[in-house]
Amino acid sequence: MSNSPAPVADKAPGLTIDGQIVTTSVVNRVINPATGEVFAEVPDAGVEHLEAAVDAARRAAPSWRGLGIAARQDIVRNVVELVRTNIDELAMLVTLEQGKPLAKAAGEIDSGLRGLGRYASTDIPVEIFRDNDDEYIEIHREPVGVVGAITAWNYPLLLALWKIGPALVTGNTIILKPSPLTPVATLRLGELLQQALPAGVLQILSGGDDLGRAMTAHPGINKITFTGSERAGKSIMSGAGPTLKRLTLELGGNDAGIVLDDVDVAAMADDLYWAALSNCGAVCAGLKRLYVPAHLASAIEEALAEVAKTIVVGNGLDEGVDMGPIQNRTQLEKVRGYVDDAVHRGADVYFRGEVPDGPGYFHPVTLVRGVDDTIPLVREEQFGPVLPILTYTDIDDAVERANNSDLGLGASVWSADEQRAVQVANRLEAGTAWVNQHPVLTSDVPFGGVKQSGLGVEQSIHGILEYTNFRVLRVKR
């Protein structure tokens, strides 16, 4: 049982529209997943709030664009310092609404701020395409206009900062909608950033699926950037069609990891464990299914179990906790269903960890063997602290099975032989193929999926340019 109290927000943050903090008569209740209790009530934005937000964003756009990139980057650097000054408060809110340990909540924010710092120092030069006696051609990158951003519940502030940074640097204004399950920290972020940003440059609206659909369809929004499930991504793609919005969609992943037969099992066990089960398994590009050589299966299974035995599951506010709860009851029941179905089909749950007593949405670390590729636990993205382990005897078979998915966000190969691992990794159908790591994301490297894992990329100059339109200046001489 947790010794931590169940904090209740003294004053829930409001919507941010045109530099003002706005409340609503209708509210949504936010649950602390470690206790199952309501800890905050936040505004539920309606159509009138979206209209006001779009109007503010469009009015602010010309002057924000006109500042020029150097001035905008100076402001984004100020944003970084402002958020860093308030990181303890924001991390507490992330832990209360998302469940992860407090140190990892702070780490999430720090990672987002490092990305913002990089965006604030990335140049977007005019490209001189041709300069001769006949013609002069320049290629410019211009802001798309108003960006609508929709984020998921697993990394509320990291995802928000990933989208706010490149949108602002490139001269766009932005309307951001966090998940209705984890809106509090993002709303508070919006309040804080009004100290650094001109009115109308950033609006934060909390609400449910109806608000997201309205954003997607709104003719005053020029681009949607979304992180979430492939089901929701397809809905956004359909809703954006009539207005031909620009889209960046970072969707689900069912990432495979392949362990080769030359590994040092003991040396790689810890990294392999966290590749799969970081953030309570709720990582879009986390390792979701593990293929191991049949003759090494027992050794790998035991090594992973030894790591799992050391993991403390509990309230993220408690000292010494390594993993918090699953963020919401619906997801908890979904993960339980995957495990129960696997057991019904003959799978062996060979390790099941401990969880605290009480009403929180805790699920034990669960390692499963004796499964095949056809069951839902393997075929679908479980997004929880469960890892199915599958065996192979032929590497070509392992690669074929790893690629047998409609999703293609990430994948990994684990080996003592780098050259051999790279050869296998280059055969995997994924946006990122890692070797001896998974998932490692940094703001200087593009990140995106293939197949049904999304459209476009985030991070790096490539991700920044997703927030721009291509414009050619062509001069006859």
Q: Does residue 447 fall inside a structural domain?
A: no
pLDDT digits (tens, 9 = 90+) for 199-240: 999 999 999 999 999 999 999 999 999 999 999 999 999 999
pLDDT for res 12: 82
pLDDT at 371 over 80: yes
Q: Before 439, cis peptide (omega within 30)?
A: yes
Domain identity same for 263 and 365: yes
Residue 364 domain flag: yes
- Rounded CA gap, 290 and 243, in Å? 41
Question: What is the tally of structural domains in the chain?
Answer: 2
Q: How far is CA 246 from CA 172, 175, 217, 224, 286, in A?
A: 13, 15, 12, 6, 27
Does 319 lie in the same domain as 243? no
- The torsion angles phi and psi of 261, rounded to 5 degrees, stand at -85, 5
Residue 195 lies in a domain: yes
Percent of the chain with pLDDT over 70: 98
pTM above 0.85, yes or no: yes
Q: Is residue 338 domain-resident?
A: yes
Does 215 lie in the same domain as 308? Answer: no
Q: How far is CA 63 from the centre of its chain?
A: 31
Enumerate the β-bridge partners of residue 379. none
Tell me, yes or no, whether 67 lies in a domain.
yes
Q: Give residue-wise pLDDT tens across range 391-425.
A: 999 999 999 999 999 999 999 999 999 999 999 99
- The answer on 281 and 243 residing in a single domain is no
Task: Say if 189 falls within a structural domain.
Answer: yes
Structure confidence at residue 5 (pLDDT): 46
Of 412, 402, 407, 364, nearest to 384 (Cα)? 364
**Structure token digits, residue 369:** 């063997």
10, part of any domain = no
Higher local confidence (pLDDT), 187 or 2 = 187
The pair of three-digit structure tokens given for residue 140, joined into one six-digit string: 């410019």
pLDDT of 6 above 50: no
Q: Do 239 and 264 share a domain, yes or no? A: no
Residue given tokens 């369809």 in the structure block: 217
Would the pLDDT of 194 be above 80?
A: yes
Q: Are 230 and 273 members of one domain?
A: no
Domain span at residue 378 reads: 255-442
Residue 10 has pLDDT above 60, yes or no: no
Contact by Cβ (8 Å): 175, 215: yes
- Asked if residue 386 and residue 371 are part of one domain, the reply reads yes
Instruction: Tell whether 209 and 322 lie within a shared domain.
Output: no
Residue 303 shares a structural domain with residue 173: no
Q: Count the alpha carbons within 13 Å of 299 in the hemisphere toward its beta carbon.
A: 14
Long-range contacts of residues 49-53, Cβ cutoff 8 Å, at least 24 apart = 49/15, 49/17, 49/22, 49/24, 49/205, 50/175, 50/205, 50/211, 50/214, 50/215, 50/218, 52/17, 52/18, 53/17, 53/18, 53/175, 53/203, 53/205
Residues 372 and 277 in one domain: yes
- The structure tokens listed for 116 are 């913002």
> Could you write out the DSSP letters of every residue in 289-332?
EEEEEGGGHHHHHHHHHHHHHTPPBS-TTSTT--B---S-HHHH
Q: How far apart are CA 373 and CA 389, in angstroms?
A: 10
**Domain CATH for 387:** 3.40.309.10
- Both 226 and 202 in a single domain? yes
Q: Residue 27: in which H helix or E strand, if any?
A: strand 27-32
Same domain for 203 and 280, yes or no, is no
Residue 2 lies in a domain: no
Q: What is the CATH number of the domain that holds 127?
A: 3.40.605.10
- Which residues belong to the active site? 250
Tens of pLDDT, residue by residue over 169-185, are 999 999 999 999 999 99
Strand order from edge to edge, sheet including 410-414: 348-352, 366-369, 386-392, 287-293, 255-259, 410-414, 432-435
For residue 454, is pLDDT > 90? Answer: yes
Give SS3 for 79: helix
